[in-house]
Amino acid sequence: MSKNFTDVSVDPSVKVIEEWINFPEGEEYYTRTWKAVSDKPIATVVFIHGFGEHIKRYNHVFDKFGKNNIEVFAYDQRSFGETAVKYNNHGSSGGWKVIEADITHALTSQRREGIPQFLMGHSMGGGFTLRYACEGDERHNLAGYISCSPWIRLSHYTMPILQGVGVSFLPIVTKLFPHNITDGTMIVSNMNPEYISRDPAQVEKYKKDALISSKVSILTLGNLKDSENSILKNNYKKMSFPMYIAHGSDDKVTEINASKRFLAKIKSANLMFREWEGRYHELHNDYGNTEVIQSYIQWIFEQ
């Protein structure tokens, strides 16, 4: 695919469809689809959002995808956003097997014959994207992966009490105790909202967003640590697909060096890494975000 990016602001010409859709565990998830401007998109994307947030925060990102004829499907994951409000289960992910099944369901239900499909994620969703590329059931059927500021390992600035030995033992704890206990035991994240962006307006929006939640279960944290082990120590050997990883050099939420360690291990011939100088965690909400969004779209065009 070869095409130039067209910059737009939030554009009324891009149709956004909101639906509640049944997922494998029987719950309905809140979803949004940003439609491509033509009946036949050049690509489709399934997007996985980050920890504590929701997909309504991405309208200014995916309207640009739609304007450039790329269709995007995203959902508020189990225990996040509108889905969490409906079921009153903030922070309870259900574990990696549930997360993996949800991603597989989203991919297979949204696939369109003859149109390349991509998986994309930010932060926690970026880490899930990398893990899915290593071990997901549908990993061989995708045209590529985009992982933005992936949560492979947290920065030492974020949740310092949970770093080191405590976090290292969480995967063991989640295996020793029943899921209904570990997924029902909550910790409150102490992440500084000022770490998400250098733009004070974006920080204020984040602070005032009623759908943002700081709760996380022991099971969810254990699975995130387990994902780090899976990605860096074991299953990286299975990753051989086109991939673009983007990370801000000044990210204080997730560790850019963990992204670099992952990249140093994998042998994909089609691999792009971009370190965005001076940028914070939410590249799409930091100064110069148009350039970042453009790079995602352009990479899809080039696959």
* Cβ proximity of 124 and 225 under 8 Å: no
pLDDT of 165: 36
Range in 62-76, 170-184, 244-258 with the lowest mean pLDDT: 170-184
Query: What angle (nearest 5°) sits at the alpha carbon of residue 264, between those of residues 263 and 270?
Result: 50
- pLDDT > 90? residue 102: yes
Residue 187 has pLDDT above 80, yes or no: no
**If pLDDT is split at 50, 70 and 90, which confidence band does 1 have?**
very low
The per-residue pLDDT for 186 is: 52
Quote the DSSP letter at residue 90: T
How many C-beta neighbours within 10 Å does residue 109 have? 13
User: What string of DSSP letters covers 155-209?
Assistant: -TTSSGGGSTHHHHHHHHHHHHS-HHHHTT-EEE----GGGS-S-HHHHHHHHH-
Instruction: List the 70-75 sheet strands across, edge first.
Output: 16-22, 28-34, 70-75, 43-48, 117-122, 144-148, 243-248, 271-276
The strand pairing partners of 72, in sequence order, are 34, 45
Regarding predicted confidence, which is higher, 225 or 165? Answer: 225
Written as one string, the DSSP assignment of 213-280 is --EEEHHHHHHHHHHHHIIIIIGGGG--S-EEEEEETT-SSB-HHHHHHHHHH---SSEEEEEETT--
**Whole-angstrom distance, CA of residue 245 vs CA of residue 238:** 17
Distance of alpha carbon 250 from the chain centroid: 19
Instruction: Give the DSSP H or E segment for 293.
Output: helix 289-301
Are the CB atoms for 251 and 281 separated by under 8 Å?
yes
Do 218 and 174 form a contact (C-beta atoms < 8 A)?
A: yes
Q: How confident is the model at residue 176 (pLDDT cuts 50, 70, 90)?
A: very low
Q: Does the pLDDT of residue 47 top 60, yes or no?
A: yes
In angstroms, the CA 92 to CA 80 distance is 8
Nearest to 177 by CA among 215, 219, 217: 219
pLDDT of residue 168: 52
User: What's the CATH number of domain 16-301, 3.40.50.300, 3.40.640.10, 3.40.50.1820, 3.50.50.60?
Assistant: 3.40.50.1820
Point out the least confidently predicted range of 1-15, 22-36, 159-173: 159-173
Lowest mean per-residue pLDDT among 41-55, 118-132, 182-196, 272-286: 182-196
Chain-centre distance of CA 248, in angstroms? 15
Determine the Cα–Cα distance for residues 227 and 110; give it in Å rounded to an integer.
Answer: 25
Q: So where are the chain's domains?
A: 16-301
Instruction: Give the separation between CA 105 and CA 22, rounded to whole angstroms.
Output: 10
* Both structure tokens of 134: 């290593």
User: Can you give the pLDDT at residue 188?
Assistant: 56
